[in-house]
Amino acid sequence: MTAAIHSLIDGLGDIPVITKPQLIRQKSRDHYWYSPILRERLEHVAADLVVCPRDEADVVAALAACYVKGVPVTARGAGTGNFGQSMPVRGGVVLDMTALDRVLEIAPGRVRVQAGAIMSDLDRACRTVSRQELRIHPSSWTSASIGGFVAGGSMGVGSVAYGLLRDPGNVLSARIVTMEATPRVLLLEGEDVQKVNHAYGTNGIITEVEMPLAPARDWEECVVAFPDLGEALRFAQGLAERVDLPKKLLSVIGAPVPERYLPGFDGLLADGPHVVLIMAAADAMAGIEACVRAAGRRFAYRLGAFERRPKPILRLYEYAWNHTVLQALKQDSSITYLQTLFPPPNHLDLIERTTARFGDEMAMHVEFIWFNGAPAALGLQLLHYTTPERVQAIIDELEAEGCPVFNPHAETLEEGGMKQIDREQLAFKREADPDGLLNPGKMLGWDDPGYDGKPRAFYLYPKRQPAALEADPPA
Ligand code: FAD
């Protein structure tokens, strides 16, 4: 450890820190290994120190101490992001937010909570206290933090009804700490929340968020199997349009994924190798059943809200969203994935064409989401990985067809979900992080203002950066 880091620790007073290299390395990682490209590029990344604030005052003190020394700070919730978002690519401090986990206020239609709270704990608290629940959560619900979801996630279970996390009203407010000589605490409300919503913590550390709540429902789970992918897609589209039947999850997973990779599914495929996964409100199940019958199908699996889950079937969302990739990776380490928007109104055609075009190289998996007032499909297709060039060629082909790909093999905001520089977030960074010390390397608009949305062949992160840290030889 360098003398600069020793001096930083002195400046932190009694704020807890982690100095064990092995633990620092662990806390410097997220689920970046979903991508073989990121795995190779970010393998060397490690912080110099992990700082564990206990409350907002600690966050303010920690940022002030780091600012004085020019030390970068990368926030971390649970570290379940898939794109290296929480990895400190320029070293410095990882700010572990997990001790800020208090639920502060539950009111009709909203909850105010500290950023480090784990979403399943938060949801349980809301259900117990007020029979309400989060509207959207990632499939990593049991492990991910609410602050990490707002700063680093995008959509998930619930998006079939409520859309993207960036859609208006899906995050009500955020309290943030700026990275300055005297850090300020700001409350961003309404549209202002978008300044930090999906900004990877590059322009403020979120200490609290206020999220909208929906009345809690009893959710049932069911699976319908189809012999033909097109038929499964049309069935799911019909259900997505039925806004009178409240749903939380509507996924289509094409062959050979269910049979090959989804644990417990081998007994569910008598009617066909493609499946539709549905989580629907208990009082919508009669309507769902009528739709299944009208399609000439039957439930391959159905679990009531209060029934015991048969082994080895998991919670249904643990086969969906990014969990599909996880289940596949457990069986086959050559698998990776893409995230592709199949925009309406031709989304079903686009999905079928894509499936036929890439054959065995790509297996289809889409999540139905509510997008601009209509159902759309977000593909999280499984890909047999060969080379970075082949991944890029596939992305180019999909985009040429009119299907934007949110590249999960890139760690910057722009190359991943945004596709372009978010001028508002960039302007806010100039205000809230004038020296560019928050999660450096993740906002291309800051490092490369001329970024034009074209894929970069190569983006070099210096292994180690700030002069303050480089000055001392290792102790
Ligand atoms: P981290 O990974 O710790 O951080 C994410 C980003 O937010 C980083 O850039 C970090 O620097 C920043 N950050 C964290 N806390 C703060 C803070 N307090 N202030 C400022 N910045 C902060 N994502 C989805 O969107 N939908 C899904 O359905 C989904 N399913 C997943 C399934 C699996 C199996 C896995 C491994 C991942 C999945 N993800 C999904 C990705 C990820 O789990 C979620 O986005 C999750 O909400 C991230 O929360 P986290 O606490 O792990 O954040």
In angstroms, the Cα distances linking 115 to 147, 155, 264, 322, 402 are 4, 17, 35, 22, 37
Residue reference for tokens 């390397």 = 441
Strands 374-379 and 274-281: unpaired
Q: 367 by DSSP, 3-state: which?
A: strand
- Whether 281 lines ligand 1, by a CB cut-off of 6 Å, is no
Q: What is the pLDDT of residues 387-402, one digit of tens each?
A: 999 999 999 999 999 9
| Protein residue with its CA nearest to atom 42 in ligand 1 | 81
- Whether 205 lines ligand 1, by a CB cut-off of 6 Å, is yes
Cβ burial, residue 112 (10 Å; 0-12/13-18/19+): middle
pLDDT of residue 475: 31
Q: Which atom of ligand 1 is nearest to the CA of 100?
A: 18
- Whether 465 lines ligand 1, by a CB cut-off of 6 Å, is no
**Per-residue burial over 217-229, b = 16 or more CB atoms within 10 Å of its CB, e = otherwise:** bebbbbbbbbeeb
Q: Which atom of ligand 1 is nearest to the CA of 143?
A: 52
Q: What is the pLDDT of residues 33-63, one digit of tens each?
A: 999 999 999 999 999 999 999 999 999 999 9
- Whether 118 lines ligand 1, by a CB cut-off of 6 Å, is no
CA of 145 to the centre of ligand 1 (A): 7
Q: Which atom of ligand 1 is nearest to the CA of 154?
A: 25
CA of 151 to the centre of ligand 1 (A): 7
Q: Which atom of ligand 1 is nearest to the CA of 201?
A: 21
- Whether 326 lines ligand 1, by a CB cut-off of 6 Å, is yes
CA of 189 to the centre of ligand 1 (A): 21
- Backbone region of residue 364 per phi and psi (left: phi > 0; alpha: psi in -120 to 50; beta: other values): beta
E strand or H helix that includes residue 313: none
CA of 370 to the centre of ligand 1 (A): 21
pLDDT of residue 421: 86
Whether residue 465 is predicted with pLDDT greater than 80 in this model: the reply is no
pLDDT of residue 277: 98
As a whole-number percent, the residues of the chain with pLDDT over 70 amount to: 95
pLDDT of residue 387: 95
Average pLDDT on 359-367 reads 97
- 456 confidence band (pLDDT: 50, 70, 90): low
CA of 82 to the centre of ligand 1 (A): 8
- Whether 79 lines ligand 1, by a CB cut-off of 6 Å, is yes
Identify the structural domains of the chain with CATH numbers, from first to last. 3-96 (3.30.43.10), 103-215 (3.30.465.10), 219-305+340-400 (3.40.462.40)
Whether residue 164 is predicted with pLDDT greater than 90 in this model: the reply is yes
What's the pTM value of the predicted model, to 2 decimals?
0.95
